[in-house]
Amino acid sequence: MGELLTSSLVADEAAVRANVRRAARFRRTWPSVAYSLGLAHEDRNPTLADKWAGRQRAEKSMVRIRTPRIMHMSVDQYGVTMVVRTVRGVGRKHFADAAGSLADEWQMRQVWARALDDEDEWGPGFVELRTVHTDPLTRTVAATRPPVPKDLTRLELGHGERGQPEYLPLAQSAGVTVMGASGYGKTQFARSLVIKLAPSPLVQFAGANGKTTRADRGDYRVLRPRYAHLVGSDLKEVNALLTGLEAEMYRRLDHMFDWWGCDEFWDHGPTLEVPVLVTTLDECQVYLTTSAPASSPRGQLVADNVEKATNLVKMGRAAGLITFFMTQKGTGNAIPTDIRDVATGAMTFPVRSRAQAQAALGDEILDFPDKDPRKILRHPYRGVGTFLPDGAEEFTRFKSPLTSLELAEEVCGATAHYVREIPGVSVGRTRTPGGGAQTIELSKARAARAAKSARRTRPDGGRP
């Protein structure tokens, strides 16, 4: 991981220098390029001299060319960003129509045009041109130690196809479905989710891992120290976990107004006593679907699991509970449609069939064939997810950072002292009766790294 991080930094520096040279070329040739692509305005209004001579239009030799002025340029390892001021008759639509020609002229992979608004630094009347030379989605970025999150209303997923950070809203969210083919990013996403939120004492985790019967084995072994409750694939344990989470949700809804004077969790925000509860249900089809008869004990248990999970999605938003449902395919025989259809968020990593893509993202994905998750079922796109950002009109993609087991182990071990049991949940405890968090035995070297990490992660720097 250290070698990957070092090589990435060296590659970043070289890419930035190359893009600085490209930006200089863009600025130097901009008047000519803009005019040739119809992005300039020919001002034929008569000048004072024309009016004096009785002409209603300017002479051909006196036509003034109004080129959109470059107001700002910036570069990064992926490409160049340029902000231009619009001129009469040339707006965002014209820049968007010319994006392909600009990419060819500048020898860039792709160009996007976006009209700025009041929320942007420049405001209306300006257009941002974003160009990338290489595909950011094929570049693997090694995750680094995360800081204490200052904003728990959203989660940074990774970098998008334009090189910009992409976010998943957490506030006002109750359920998120995460789908994708085996080995293409779901586990990396879960690992990244936990370590980015772990440094905050205002977040508690619970979960079920359908890939193994033991909670202290498998993909969640290194994450377990930061979980308050974690179970395996046993149906009875998962049922007890969901029952406890449902009880905690009802407790919060019943008493929230008495505590805070409001009925919505996010109107007040999380506290140490009432934290955000993030639940991960990995390979959820194991305990949410069955081929057994509905009247059988297994069928009844699964039906109860589905009912409780559906309640968490429907009512968890107001209580500060966020549940992530992860499965390889999102069709009705893998995740109940009652859950899938009411989840507030949906994302998918590469999938193999159209039915899986539609189940994951809805029929709307058919309107964006260039964002079809089947097209990126290739090795360079491992860890690339597709989702519909909050308030966006079209789907977008992101590349989840590569989170090593060593980093996950250190972060979760260093923040294990934040773990508090969730009221009402009686299974999957990761804390000993004496109150200390159960952690996996580490070698002396790993234990020393974890202790050093704990000092760096604590807000007070580890000082008494």
Alpha carbons 446 and 451: distance in angstroms, whole number: 9
pLDDT of amino acid 140: 86
Lowest-confidence segment of 112-121, 370-379, 450-459 by average pLDDT? 450-459
Query: Is pLDDT larger for residue 90 or for residue 118?
Result: 90
In sign, the C-alpha dihedral spanning 206, 209, 215, 216 is negative
**Partners of residue 283 on adjacent β-strands:** none
Asked if residue 1 has pLDDT above 70, the reply is no
**When comparing pLDDT for 458 and 393, which is higher?**
393
Higher pLDDT, 434 or 76: 76
pLDDT of residue 141: 87
Q: What is the DSSP string of 77-115?
A: SSEEEEEEE-BTTB-HHHHHHTHHHHHHHHT-SEEEEEE
Question: Could you read off the pLDDT of 265-303 as tens digits, one per residue?
Answer: 999 999 999 999 999 999 999 999 888 888 898 999 999
- Residue 319's pLDDT is 95
Matching residue, tokens 């941002």: 128
**What pLDDT is attached to residue 447?**
46
Predicted pLDDT of residue 100: 94
442 compared with 173, residue with greater pLDDT:
173
Q: What is the pLDDT of residue 340?
A: 87
Backbone angles phi and psi of 210, in degrees to 5: -75, 0
Residue type, 116: L
Contact 275, 322 (CB under 8 A): no
> What is the pLDDT at residue 201?
96
pLDDT of amino acid 444? 43
Residue 62 DSSP one-character state: G
Q: State residue 430's pLDDT score.
A: 74
Question: Does residue 460 have a pLDDT over 60?
Answer: no
Q: For residue 464, name the pLDDT band (cuts at 50, 70, 90).
A: very low
What is the mean pLDDT of the segment spanning 415-438?
A: 76
pLDDT in tens, 8-45: 545 678 889 999 999 999 999 999 999 999 999 877 66
Q: Where is average pLDDT lowest: 206-210, 216-220, 433-437?
A: 433-437
Categorize the per-residue pLDDT at 249 as very low, low, confident or very high, splitting at 50, 70 and 90.
Answer: very high
Q: Give the helix, strand, coil percentages of the chain, each rounded to 5.
A: 40, 20, 40
**pLDDT over threshold 50, residue 461:** no
pLDDT tens, position by position, 158-171: 999 999 999 999 99
Residue 431: pLDDT band by 50, 70, 90 thresholds? Answer: low
Mean pLDDT, the chain, rounded, equals 86
Reported as type and span, the H/E element at residue 302 is helix 297-319
Q: Residue 62: what pLDDT?
A: 61
Is a pLDDT exceeding 70 seen at residue 329? yes
Report the C-alpha gap between 287 and 67 in whole angstroms: 62
pLDDT, mean of residues 96-117 = 93
441 pLDDT above the threshold of 50 = no
pLDDT band per the 50, 70, 90 thresholds, residue 51 = low
Q: What's the pLDDT score for residue 126? A: 94
Q: Which residue did the predictor score with more confidence, 331 or 373?
A: 373
Please state the pTM of the whole predicted model. Answer: 0.82
Mean pLDDT of 379-385: 93
Which pLDDT score is estimated for 137?
93
| Greater model confidence, 444 or 153 | 153
Structure tokens at 411: 């972060």
